[in-house]
Structure 1
Amino acid sequence: MRITEARTKAARAACFAVRRAVFIAEQNIPEVEEWDALDESCTHFLAEDDSGPLGCARLIAMGNTAKIGRVAVMAQARGAGLGRAIMLHVMAAARAAGFAQAMLEAQLYVIPFYEALGFVAEGPEYDDGSGILHRVMRRAL
């Protein structure tokens, strides 16, 4: 398993394929809600093995905060710790880049996953436009 920054067009396309499979196909998030202008300027991370892409995440710089988002793991790779490995990799990259904290917008059912990584939920539940309830979560880096 390799987790790397997706620096090439092909690597970013692999990240987008994971997001399409997980968010659009599985979770029925409207395509218009999944893609945004931030995809062009943020840092993408790709998890893959010899069989192909298995997971991804992106990092958006917001001052001294690293906003982590679009964390996704393909169905066949779930339950083996890949999501945790992706998050640890992204948080380490954010820490190395000098960010003081990380934040994310978690779907309600994955809040316990992020809590196990040290994130703390804050504020009310909200619909981010996808029809799925979320909460903001933060942690120091």
Structure 2
Amino acid sequence: MEVRTVKTTEELQDAFTIRKKVFVEEQGVPIEEEIDQFDDTATHFVLYHNHSPAGAGRFRILDGIGKVERICVDSSLRGLGGGKAIMSKIEDYAKEQGITALKLNAQTHAIPFYESLGYNVDSDEFMDAGIPHKTMKKYI
């Protein structure tokens, strides 16, 4: 598996393809909520497995804090290290940008995964796109 920082239109479309598969088709998130106005300015990442898109994520900087968003891995490849690889690539990118703190809004079922990467819950539960989430933070 390989994680790339998106540099081409094709790579961006690959990231959108896997996001749509996971969030829209699998989880029922409305497409207009999944693909939003922040996609134009975010830095995107795509995970490839056997030259096919297998995962994705995006990163933005808000008030000096890195915001990790839209982390997903194809259901057939979960548990094989792809999510960890995406997160590692995003964290390395954040460090290159001089960012020392990261936050993300985790679906509650994914909290143990993010905790294993050093993130800590920093909010009460809230709903986003009909799915329960909690905000998590990490200092890098």
TM-score (norm 2): 0.96
Q: Please state whether the residue corresponding to 1:66 is helix, strand or coil.
A: strand
Q: Which residue of 1 aligns with 2:32?
A: 32
Q: 1-side partners of 2:23 and 2:96: how far apart?
A: 29
Q: Please state whether the residue corresponding to 2:24 is helix, strand or coil.
A: helix
Gaps of 5+ in 1: none
Counterpart AA for 2:133? H
Runs of 4 or more, structure 1, over 3 Å off, are none
Gaps of 5+ in 2: none
CA shift for structure 1 position 100: 1.4
In the alignment, does 2:124 pair up with 1:136?
no
TM-score (norm 1): 0.96
Matches within 5 A, 1:1-141: 1-128=1-128, 130-141=129-140
Q: 1-side partners of 2:47 and 2:59: how far apart?
A: 14
- The number of residues matched between the two structures is 140
Q: 2-side partners of 1:7 and 1:13: how far apart?
A: 11
Q: Please state whether the residue corresponding to 2:16 is helix, strand or coil.
A: helix
Q: Give the percent of matched residue pairs that are identical in Structure 1 and Structure 2.
A: 34
Q: Please state whether the residue corresponding to 2:126 is helix, strand or coil.
A: strand
Counterpart AA for 2:134? R
